[in-house]
Chain A
Amino acid sequence: MTAHGSARGRAVTLITAALVSTVALLAAPAGMAAEPLKVGFVYVSPIGDAGWTYQHDIARKKMEAELGERVETRFVESVPEGAEAERVIRELAASGHGLVFTTSFGYMNPTIKVAKAFPDTIFEHATGYKRAPNVGTYVARFYEGRYLTGIVAGKMTRSNVAGYVAAFPIPEVIRGINAFTRGMRSVNPDAQVKVIWVNSWFDPGREREAADALIAQGADVITHHTDSTAPALAAEEKGVHVIGYHSDMSKYAPTAHLTASTHDWSEHYLRTARAVLDGSWASAAVWGGIREGMVKLAPFGAAVPDAVRELVLAQQRDIVSGALHPFAGPVRDQDGNERVAAGATMTDEAMLTMDYYVEGVQGKLPK
């Protein structure tokens, strides 16, 4: 199991907690002392100061703070997707965790497999699509945040070209690129988005090189769907704008930062833990967006004028009220084919299987 910084402090806390609860159990008649719900978290990367895992860990801490002694959390970071993940998840289930959050797409099959062996443990898997009576899934409508940040990019660009550093051509990432492009072109019909695939979630060297290449090709707003802060640093150094992802990255790019599309899982974690505690939990596919508080925009950077801020906030209200949908028709793909007719709205099903670029994205989508 991967060690982490506060391992010793945690061990001391655990031992103390174990001693206290043992004493309490001995002293009180059986059944009086409520055992805390042990909640396990499996993270795909180190927590760090920003990024996907960092956002999950913030939510874990908030949940712990809110529920106090009723829960006891433990996390394992940098768990590779694959055989190692199954071992870690199994270990958490076997050591008495009543609720386990597995926070990366690649944990899907291991989670389902372990869940079969531990029917009394409840699992919540992020971004997956396989469920079981004791496995629920949750994911955020990241594309809503992407659309709003696209509006910011469309208003701020001078070259009418935005650069997008992307990880892997899966529907999740493609949906983000398309939503960003539609947001950008909603205020700037000439805008184009250039995409570079780095084929890695996390490789600062390559992310940096990709961002540099996009800037050299004329992009003056950079955004990314990868995990490190390297694109933000590249933008800051080259004097162009950057729109972050996962976390507010303004401290890495104080002048370049415009805003960021961030995730907030704390409501979901809190709700889920409460449901498990009072026995009302049921397997479900949760897909929440801005309305549910799962997607949030980071505070605007100084470079963003008030008029743009107001426009974006107004659009955000429209998304919450349902008046605006990032994929409301007409939606045309790159080749001009109509994917959604005017007046209609794209279904969740169609969004989840998106495998084409909308008009305004340059280049061909790798298949």
Chain B
Amino acid sequence: MSAEGTVIAIVLATVGAGTPLVYAALGELVVEKSGVLNLGVEGMMLLGAVVGFIAAVESGSVVVAALAGMGAGAGASLLFAFLTLTLQANQVATGLALTIFGVGVSAFLGLDYTSVALESLAGVHVPLLSDLPILGALVFSFDPLVYLSFAVFVAVTVFLYRSRWGLVLRGVGEAPASAHALGYDVIGIRYLAVLFGGAMAGLGGMYLSVVYTPVWVESMTAGRGWIALALVVFATWRPARVMLGAYLFGGTTILQFHIQGAGVDVASQILSMLPYVATIVVLVLISRDATKIRLNAPAALGQAYHPDV
């Protein structure tokens, strides 16, 4: 294959590998901006993956699968929201419990669907545009859910930084007592943020099981939920850096396989480590300004808030 073809293959694979992380991390970003720390991303992704996969097998429709995956993630996050926001349970402990719960329940739900084969989703084909040399392959040949992830990125950025309700959400994450004093429903807003985060995690999981692999097996997210969580922190709660981190992680994963296949003399164990190291190093380097980190980090992150006290 030509060098050009190889580069295109790497770029396409990078976007595919990064997309589940983009969804899950953007969702978690909004949750954390509202002051809630939900460590259950891995569990919600798995639930989204299994429910989305079952829906895809039963209905044959990707739209139904995406809605089902989002519903499953949102449902699990509703449980989290009820425990932490209404009952004021500890967010860290509840999030960890949600992950363990998600691993178990998804394995149980998926028993009859383990290794069922699924037709994979073809990329879109835009007449003329997709046929352009190089650019056509690079920009106009992804599957629809990749384009949706771009749209989610734009929507989250505009919402958080260019809309009144985004300002309110950030206010709730910075100083819930002040937001409450101004008449905003802190708990209600946090509920919505957590639900959005759950739906995005579910969609990310569904992308992995229905579009990317496409197969369902127990614990198939293999830690991607935790990587999404780490991305939000290392990207200092900024959407563009979350995107950058997700693609960087996906890209180094793909690249190290190509390096191995090309027969470069580096230990594969070191190459396996590369995505983690590269992502952390780059994000830490570009986000090392302590003042800016304080500005972007939600001040009330992880703290329970009750309007009566």
CA distance A217 to B5 in the complex (A): 9
B261 and A214 contacting across the interface, CB-CB below 8 Å: yes
Those of A346-367 within 8 Å (CB) of chain B: 362-364, 366-367
**CB-CB under 8 A for A252 and B115, given A205-B222, A230-B213, A237-B120:** yes
Q: Which residue of B lies closest to A3 (CB)?
A: B108
Task: Pick from B230-238, B252-260, B288-296, B301-309 the stretch touching chain A.
Answer: B252-260
Secondary structure type dominating chain A contacts = loop
B120 to chain A, nearest CB (A): 5
If the complex has contacts A78-B218, A205-B208, A206-B222, are A213 and B13 also in contact, measured as CB distance less than 8 A? yes
Nearest-neighbour CB distance to chain B for A215, whole angstroms, equals: 8
Distance to closest chain A CB from B235 (angstroms): 22
Contact sample, A vs B, 12 pairs, CB 8 Å cutoff: A197-B268, A198-B257, A199-B272, A205-B212, A205-B213, A212-B9, A213-B258, A217-B1, A217-B258, A229-B215, A230-B215, A364-B263
Whether B212 contacts A208 by the Cβ 8 Å rule is yes
**Contact, CB under 8 Å: A216 / B6:** yes
CA distance A204 to B257 in the complex (A): 14
Interface size class of B (residues with CB under 8 A): 35 or more
Q: B115 near A48 (CB under 8 angstroms)?
A: yes
| Known A210-B257, A363-B263: A216·B268 in contact at CB below 8 Å | no
Residue numbers in A under 8 Å from B108 (CB-CB)? 3
Partner of B117, one of A5, A51, A252: A252
Name the contact of A251 in the complex, choosing from B17, B117, B222, B261 (C-beta under 8 A): B117
Is B17 a contact partner of A209 (Cβ separation < 8 A)?
Answer: yes
- In the bound complex, how far is the Cα of B167 from the Cα of A190, in angstroms? 65
Q: Are B117 and A218 in contact (CB under 8 A)?
A: no
Q: Does B126 contact A (CB under 8 A)?
A: no
Q: Which 6 A-B residue pairs are closest in the complex by CB-CB distance?
A: A363-B263, A216-B9, A213-B257, A197-B268, A49-B115, A48-B114
Residue A196 lies at the interface, judged by CB distance under 8 Å to chain B: yes
**CA distance in complex: A177, B23 (Å):** 38
A163 within 8 A of B: yes
Contacting residues of chain A (183-222) with chain B, CB-CB under 8 angstroms: 194-200, 202-206, 208-210, 212-214, 216-218
In the complex, A345→B212 CA distance in Å?
45
| Chain A residues whose CB sits within 8 angstroms of the CB of B166 once the complex forms | none
Q: How far is the CA of A110 from the CA of B159 in the complex (A)?
A: 55
In the complex, chain A residues whose CB is within 8 Å of the CB of B5: 216
CB distance from A252 to the nearest CB of B (A): 5
B279 CB to closest chain A CB (Å) equals 16
Give chain A interface residues in 149-190, CB to chain B under 8 Å.
Answer: 163, 169
Q: Bound state CA distance, A199 and B218, in angstroms?
A: 18
Within the complex, the shortest CB–CB distance from B25 to chain A, in Å, comes to 16
Task: Give A residues with C-beta under 8 Å from B.
Answer: 3-5, 45-51, 78, 163, 169, 194-200, 202-206, 208-210, 212-214, 216-218, 228-230, 233, 237, 251-252, 362-364, 366-367
Q: Which chain B residues numbered 264 to 282 have a C-beta less than 8 Å away from chain A?
A: 264-265, 267-269, 272
Q: Which residues of A have CB within 8 Å of B253?
A: 206, 209
Given known A203-B222, A216-B258, contact A48–B217 (CB-CB < 8 A) = yes
With A204-B215, A364-B263 known as contacts, the answer to whether A199 contacts B17 (CB < 8 A) is no
A3 to B108, CA, bound (A): 9
Task: Knowing A203-B222, A212-B9, say if A233 contacts B272 (CB, 8 Å).
Answer: no
Nearest residue, chain B, Cβ from A164: B261
**B117 engages A199 (CB within 8 Å):** no
Q: Which of B208-241 contact A (CB under 8 A)?
A: 208, 212-215, 217-218, 220-222, 224
Q: Cβ of B263 and Cβ of A362 under 8 Å apart?
A: yes
Q: Which residue of B lies closest to A247 (CB)?
A: B115
**Do the beta carbons of B9 and A163 come within 8 Å of each other?**
no
Q: Give CA–CA (A49, B263) in the complex, Å.
A: 33
The residues of A that contact B258 with a CB separation of less than 8 Å are 213, 216-217
Known: A196-B260, A202-B217, A229-B215. A213 touches B117 (CB 8 A): no
Task: State whether A213 touches B17 (Cβ < 8 A).
Answer: no
Give bound CA distance, A205 to B227, whole Å.
14
Whether a CB of chain A sits under 8 angstroms from the CB of B158 is no
Which A residues touch B112, using CB under 8 A? Answer: 5
Q: Are B115 and A197 in contact (CB under 8 A)?
A: no
- Say which residue of B213, B224, B262 sits within 8 Å of A217 (CB atoms): B262
Closest to A232 in B: B117
Could you say which residues of chain A place their CB within 8 Å of the CB of B10? Answer: 216
Q: Which of B214, B218, B222 contacts A233 (CB 8 A)?
A: B214
Residue numbers in B under 8 Å from A4 (CB-CB): 111
Q: Across the interface, which residues of B come within 8 angstroms of A49, CB to CB? A: 114-116
